[in-house]
Structure 1
Amino acid sequence: MNINKEDMSLKKLNELLAGLKMTIISGIFLAISLVFMVFHIQSPIDPAWGAVIISGFPLIYLALIRVIKEKFVSSALLITVAMIASIGIGQIFAAGEVAFIMSLGALLEDYTVDRAQNGLKNLINLTPQKGRKIIQTNNGNFKEEIVNVNEINLKDTLRVLPGEVIPVDGVITKGNTSLDQSIMTGESLPIDKKPGDEVFCGTMNLYGSVDMETTSRGEDSSLQKLIDMVRDAENKQAPTQRIADKWATWLVPVALLIAICAFIFTGDINRAVTVLVVFCPCALILATPTSIMAAIGQATKYGVIIKSGEALENLGKTNIIAFDKTGTLTYGDLKVSDVISKKENLSNEQLLKITASCEKRSEHPLAKALIKYTEENNIKFDDCEDFQMIPGKGVKSKIDQEEIFCGNLNFIKENNINTNGLNETLKYLNNEGKANIIVANENEILGIIALSDILCEDAKEMIKNLEELNTKVILLTGDNIQAANYFSKQVGISNVHAELLPEDKVKQIQKIKDNNEMVAMIGDGVNDAPALKTANISVAMAKMGSDIAIEAADVALLGDDIEKIPYLKKLSNATLYNIHFNITLSMCINAVAIFCSVMGWLNPVTGALVHNIGSCVVIANAGFLYDRKFDDNIKKYNPNEPVKNNEILTHSHDKGNLNHSHKNLDLGEVITFNGSSHTHKHMH
């Protein structure tokens, strides 16, 4: 028990002396010692002792911990030997200098390390805590009772009201609704659910009241599995060993051997100690963290937050980048994309007016997107009567005494409305991954309103730039295969994997890693968190993305500018080159200094200064990385800059000759679709 207390005391003392404030004080003592030495000022106690004590204790503590507890010979041991040897021959300044440089290098490296990951905690906070359980009373009646999730068992019947979260995995037994499943699949469109359909824990019930039967308890739910995957991937992340520590196993004996040989052949103890001083890999230790600090600083100017040096190094080695679709290559925001009139003499504006008037009381996301579009185009609404919403199907109401139906194909068929001539149009729209609102009266189809996600305008150019950097690109998405294929063709991605759950994305990432490839994952949603953690390097869209995805990722794009992905790749490549150059330079300086020490041209003090100059050169070279320009088109990040306007293109398709024509449209322009020739509006 006493031993444990002593260990804790030593650990606290080490943390105190290794901090920024104490390191600054150590540097002040060293600077005063240098001034005294240059101006030949006599002092009963060399001020460099302050640096030796403050910076030397953490150095000795680290060396002993690694040797005794971790059975690991580190560069700290070599520097400790050099420090003690310098003290032994009275060279206090040299001892303080090597201890201070080591302490400074440790601070620089710690500054680039990601200290805390709150993503897992945020993900756990999403876990539903209560559910609405249907319980049979003693008199045979049924009642609802709010219970904790851990009180829900298999085969229990639960009721989920509009706006509530599904508390556990299950199957719908009664009712129709639409669910927001983006937390699990990332899909931007709501999913209609009916009896017999599976529902997932953590997904949002948009408006229909449903009963469901539990198929898994809380600890076995899909959301809990998502949490477990993030936790497992987090635990698999190994810290990067410092290059100097990797080499310390042979650096220590080589340094000692050269120092002993120098003493044996020259009989000069100063030469032996000087060899130990200049052999200290301080410049080598600084080579990596200084380059990484400069790169992280530059990236921050452009709205790219890199959370760790390891992330930057891994990105430089990456040769495959996997993209999520929604919120990454697209804006994740539904917009009206097609207005197709199927009735003669019914204009597109009239169709929009009828549909919006019928849908204006609906809470469905498709209806909200339609209403927003209609309002933006200054189309006035008509009054409607007898509004009725049928969850998972559609809505109906009366406008000018005419009953109007707006919904999916099954809803229209259930009301005995002729749907002939719709199949080909619906097939075309479905192949483009669009959601459709079919509009009809009691006698006939009036038209179709289609909605779609919006492709980021820079996506295609970004993919092209990545391929020019010899980086392969793949698409991993929870969207249906039609939507995935449509958007992938727009941006030029040929390798597509669709309809993926979070665990499927993880499997795809792991499969790439198993082939000894370095893979990066770009995503924005909660469902992307496990894949982000599993990848060698991960990038999250910070503005549109979820907090969990951002916390799970190694890099965050503050402005969601995906054109910065190629810039990030160039920066990481340059950082790796800079690190390798610095390492080579530091080793060369050390080699020359060792030779000069053996020849007697350097003493411990001048040797310490020379080896300090090497450290300064390394830091200066890393500093050049901060101001380097990688792409003239990349602008510095401005949080107040408005979101880019999305260009809207009109595509005119004639089924006979498949000719295409393109022209720019104002947002307010309305397009007419008639017969076999129809025009489609796409958002890019």
Structure 2
Amino acid sequence: MRSLTVNACVLAIAAGSLLMGAILVWTGRPHFAHLLWTLGALPALGFVLYDVAYSLVRRKAGIDVLAAVAIVGAFLLGEYLSAIAIAVMFASGQALESFAQARAGREMFALLARAPHNAYRMEGDALICIDLDAVRIGDRLLVRAGDTVPVDGLVQSSSATLDESVLTGESVPVERRQGDMLRSGGVNAGAPFEMRAVETAQRSTFAGIARLVESARTSRAPASRLADRYALWFVPISLGLAAIAWLASGSPVRALAVLVVATPCPLILAVPVALVSGMSNCARRGILIKGGAALEGLARAKVLFFDKTGTLTGGQARLVQIQADAPVDKLEVLRTAASLDQVSAHITASAIVSAARERSLRLSLPTEVIEEPGAGLSGTVDGVSVRVGTPDFVCRSLPRPGWSATFLATVGGEGGSAVYVAKDGKVIGALHLADQIRVETSRALRMLRQVGIVHMTMLTGDRSDVAAAIGAAVGVDEIRAGLDPAGKLAALGEVPDGVTSIMVGDGVNDAPALAAAGVGVAMGARGAAASSEAADVVLLVDRLDRLAEAVHLAKASRRIAMQSVALGMGMSLVAMALAAAGYLAPVYGAALQEVIDVIAIANSLRALRVAPLRVSRRRLPAEQALRLRAEHEELLPLLDRLSSLADQVLAMPPEQAVPALRQFDQLLAEKLVPHEAADDARVYPMVAGLLGGDDPMASLSRTHREIFTLARRLHGLVQALVPASVDEAAMREVQRILYGLDAILRLHFAQEEELYLTLS
């Protein structure tokens, strides 16, 4: 399609000629007006003839042939005013389409406008500006305030603040700590920071996004191709109706009027505008769609396949459980392991250090560290020898504790990994790490069913027992475990003909399956770089619920496109009938057709304003949601201490147990109970206002009542304990209350976080 500037110039020439010709007629010089109108219509006629010839070369039936016939016919009949009116109509339609396409793709193409062009490499004490293509893996780069991150890399400074709104649609700046991964395309919203490149410019995230946008810009949707097929019968019908009107009335002017209102058909304008609007709307939500065909595929899809790791789960190891050998505190086990793991680059060590930092534990700097790749580390922490790693590595010369067999069975059954921790020649505990289900997964699957997905299958290479546990937790319809890439392809091949399937994966290991599915969807940052080759859709935000929004927006955009077609063609057919009956002169027909075009395109642009799927029209501010999440993270040490105390309280001597219980009871009174009371008094009323209804927070408020009840009962029992004469039955009741509090608090926090995520 020609640029908006060219179309605007053609429109300006035609409209200016029409206006100046009207002035000449008013001043009594019609012959000069006819000449001016003829000259003003020639540029439009030239472009029309070019479009017709271009369509014929490509063996397509273009609707523009009607405009060419109408303008030439008006000249032959001496209808100079009609000729210039048709030229204005054609030029304004082209300009309107160009403007609408630019408006519809504004958010999508805004990504390219933020493309970095150079980087600042640090060479000794010098800072050198280099071309982006000159960046090499391992280069130390400085990202200045306001600059775009040039390539994918790791943060080398203590922290970095980034605005990733153009990539993800998330307006709140994100914090990255030392060692965290950075995606190219984010903007430095804080102080300058150093980073180390881990990819070249061509292989970085932004390059993959740019390829996707370019592919989307040049692709043609099935509905757009369908418009060309409509032209095969619409053009003959229009010409036939014009001929009938001429023969029935004996006036060629009626035939001209019929052709005028049939030119150009809103069908050609409205469909691409609606689909590009939908793609742009998706881009604003952090959903990048490769082209109109992918958008229509999402709209038709009924069957969904998931890869488990990185899709239903987070794709990264997270701390699930801490096992401590009595009387060691669980947090001390984690602190010891994290202190030693600080110097390791292993992914498991990074997960342990992150868990310790989340709990604000003070880590010590290890010395004399020796690492056995794939096994573990040994070294000195606070002057004491420490070993951290696999059970075989840590227990190579140490006896295994009594809880070891049960702990390993639990870890194996849940598909996780066990990290043992030894200190001063004794195993003091172990850490259970696993790839956990995403917070939003269950909600995302419910949303997908809401938008029309009828069958969901989880594909994974994991063992069947691990896959069954994950599948049952999230509620998929079918589970297929132990699959290699060929097995995943075979599963996709079983989809019946005519049924569109979606495959969701990470864009790397699942590339064959992504390419074979009706629509391949790559998740988050890991999928973006590889997805331009394999996937049709990239979720730039690493959240599965955005897939449900993508399907919802695709369905709405396709529905609006079809509405615009029906509306535009219906009005054009009515106008053609009026023109054939002699009720519509060519000049008025041109004006009416212009109105029809505007109505059809304006309706198509509604796809830009389709609201995402939400439980409420109003939103919880992102800053508020982050604050609430941070409050939960501050309470993580208290939950860990609660779990540790519940496990050990019966085995502890009374002179240790009673002070420990009283100290924990004081923590409950000072931190947990005020937090829950504040939630009930201030947060819940605000959330209830967003949700609507009579009392939408009733169930969570009821949980608060149970937490307060257990806290009061624990306080009463602890105050009654006397170290010199501790009653065993009372201690068992204390342990029962501790376990009850632990279970209800963890469930309650998970429910609240899912709710806040839903509203934010």
1:48, 1:292 → 2: CA distance? Answer: 36
Match of 1:584 in 2: 566
Out of 15, 26, 31, which is 2:10 matched to? 26
2:492, 2:220 → 1: CA distance? Answer: 17
| Partner secondary structure for residue 526 of structure 1 | coil
2:87, 2:475 → 1: CA distance? Answer: 58
1:22, 1:48 → 2: CA distance? Answer: 20
The correspondence of residues 467-482 of structure 1 with structure 2, limited to 5 A, is 467-471=449-453, 472-477=455-460
1:445, 1:273 → 2: CA distance? Answer: 94
Residue 427 (structure 1) shift:
2.8
Out of 230, 236, 239, which is 1:253 matched to? 236
Match of 2:271 in 1: 288
Residue 334 (structure 1) shift:
3.3
Out of 390, 393, 411, which is 1:411 matched to? 393
Letter in 2 for 1:323: F
Match of 2:123 in 1: none
Question: 1:386·1:398 contact (CA, 8 Å) conserved in 2?
Answer: yes
Out of 284, 287, 295, which is 1:312 matched to? 295
Letter in 2 for 1:464: R
Match of 1:274 in 2: 257
Higher mean C-alpha deviation, range 457-466 or range 547-556: 547-556
Residue 61 (structure 1) aligned with residue 50 (structure 2): yes
Out of 461, 467, 470, which is 2:443 matched to? 461
| Partner secondary structure for residue 389 of structure 1 | strand
Residue 77 (structure 1) aligned with residue 48 (structure 2): no
- Greater RCO, CA 8 A, separation 6+: 1
Residue 248 (structure 1) shift:
1.9
Out of 330, 347, 355, which is 1:373 matched to? 355
Residue 339 (structure 1) shift:
0.3
1:290, 1:314 → 2: CA distance? Answer: 17
Residue 268 (structure 1) shift:
0.8
Higher mean C-alpha deviation, range 280-289 or range 594-603: 280-289
1:495, 1:93 → 2: CA distance? Answer: 64
Higher mean C-alpha deviation, range 622-631 or range 460-469: 622-631
Residue 246 (structure 1) shift:
0.6
Match of 1:100 in 2: 91
1:163-195 CA-to-partner distances (Å, cap 9, x unmatched) read: 9xxxxxxxxxxxxxxxxxx9xxxxxxxxxxxxx
Letter in 2 for 1:270: V
Match of 2:591 in 1: 609
Residue 669 (structure 1) aligned with residue 633 (structure 2): no
Residue 442 (structure 1) shift:
8.9
The correspondence of residues 30-45 of structure 1 with structure 2, limited to 5 A, is 30-36=14-20, 40-41=25-26, 42=30, 43-44=32-33
Question: 2:388·2:421 contact (CA, 8 Å) conserved in 1?
Answer: yes
Letter in 2 for 1:347: D
Question: 1:521·1:535 contact (CA, 8 Å) conserved in 2?
Answer: yes
Match of 1:655 in 2: none
Q: Note closer, same or farther for the CA distance 1:377–1:265 as it changes in structure 2 (3 Å cut).
A: closer
Match of 1:389 in 2: 371
Q: Note closer, same or farther for the CA distance 1:438–1:322 as it changes in structure 2 (3 Å cut).
A: same
Residue 86 (structure 1) aligned with residue 70 (structure 2): no
Residue 354 (structure 1) aligned with residue 336 (structure 2): yes
1:197-241 CA-to-partner distances (Å, cap 9, x unmatched) read: xxxxxxx9xxxxxxxxxxxxxxxxxxxxxxxxx9xx99xx87534
Gaps of 5+ in 1: 1-14, 119-162, 164-181, 183-203, 205-229, 651-663
2:582, 2:21 → 1: CA distance? Answer: 21
Letter in 2 for 1:317: R
1:466-512 CA-to-partner distances (Å, cap 9, x unmatched) read: 21333133334556655544443332223234555556545544543
| Partner secondary structure for residue 408 of structure 2 | helix
1:414, 1:530 → 2: CA distance? Answer: 42
Higher mean C-alpha deviation, range 609-618 or range 329-338: 329-338
Q: Note closer, same or farther for the CA distance 1:84–1:561 as it changes in structure 2 (3 Å cut).
A: farther
| Partner secondary structure for residue 437 of structure 2 | coil
Letter in 1 for 2:640: E
1:48-103 CA-to-partner distances (Å, cap 9, x unmatched) read: 65774444434323322332x43332323344333433333233224414532563
2:370, 2:386 → 1: CA distance? Answer: 11
Residue 516 (structure 1) aligned with residue 498 (structure 2): yes
Question: 1:413·1:419 contact (CA, 8 Å) conserved in 2?
Answer: no
1:239-275 CA-to-partner distances (Å, cap 9, x unmatched) read: 5343331122222222222222222222111111222
Question: 1:108·1:290 contact (CA, 8 Å) conserved in 2?
Answer: no
1:258, 1:506 → 2: CA distance? Answer: 52
1:630, 1:439 → 2: CA distance? Answer: 47
| Partner secondary structure for residue 438 of structure 2 | coil
Question: 2:556·2:610 contact (CA, 8 Å) conserved in 1?
Answer: no
1:501, 1:87 → 2: CA distance? Answer: 69
Question: 1:302·1:637 contact (CA, 8 Å) conserved in 2?
Answer: no
| Partner secondary structure for residue 493 of structure 1 | coil
The correspondence of residues 38-437 of structure 1 with structure 2, limited to 5 A, is 40-41=25-26, 42=30, 43-44=32-33, 52-67=41-56, 69-89=57-77, 90=79, 91-100=82-91, 103-104=94-95, 107=98, 111=102, 240=222, 241-341=224-324, 343-381=325-363, 386-397=368-379, 404-412=386-394, 414-415=396-397, 417-418=399-400, 421-437=403-419
1:416, 1:422 → 2: CA distance? Answer: 12
The correspondence of residues 489-528 of structure 1 with structure 2, limited to 5 A, is 489-498=472-481, 505-512=488-495, 515-528=497-510
1:422-469 CA-to-partner distances (Å, cap 9, x unmatched) read: 333223223323222023469764322012334332221221122133
Match of 2:753 in 1: none
Residue 318 (structure 1) shift:
1.6
1:110-139 CA-to-partner distances (Å, cap 9, x unmatched) read: 656899999xxxxxxxxxxxxxxxxxxxxx
The correspondence of residues 510-659 of structure 1 with structure 2, limited to 5 A, is 510-512=493-495, 515-542=497-524, 545-549=527-531, 553-629=535-611, 631-632=613-614, 633=616
| Partner secondary structure for residue 515 of structure 1 | coil
Higher mean C-alpha deviation, range 69-78 or range 102-111: 102-111
1:487, 1:374 → 2: CA distance? Answer: 26
| Partner secondary structure for residue 621 of structure 1 | helix
Match of 1:653 in 2: none
RMSD: 4.4
What's the % identity of the aligned pairs? 23
Residue 285 (structure 1) shift:
1.4
Question: 1:533·1:552 contact (CA, 8 Å) conserved in 2?
Answer: yes
1:356, 1:52 → 2: CA distance? Answer: 77
2:528, 2:64 → 1: CA distance? Answer: 41
Letter in 1 for 2:582: G
Letter in 2 for 1:490: A
Letter in 1 for 2:600: V
Letter in 2 for 1:447: G
Letter in 2 for 1:88: L
1:445, 1:20 → 2: CA distance? Answer: 72
2:532, 2:295 → 1: CA distance? Answer: 16
Residue 598 (structure 1) shift:
1.4
| Partner secondary structure for residue 323 of structure 1 | strand
Q: Note closer, same or farther for the CA distance 1:404–1:631 as it changes in structure 2 (3 Å cut).
A: closer
Question: 2:341·2:349 contact (CA, 8 Å) conserved in 1?
Answer: yes
Letter in 1 for 2:351: A
TM-score, with length taken from structure 1: 0.67
1:32, 1:640 → 2: CA distance? Answer: 53
Question: 1:73·1:245 contact (CA, 8 Å) conserved in 2?
Answer: yes
2:6, 2:456 → 1: CA distance? Answer: 47
Higher mean C-alpha deviation, range 71-80 or range 413-422: 413-422
Question: 2:90·2:263 contact (CA, 8 Å) conserved in 1?
Answer: no
Residue 22 (structure 1) shift:
1.0
Higher mean C-alpha deviation, range 467-476 or range 44-53: 44-53
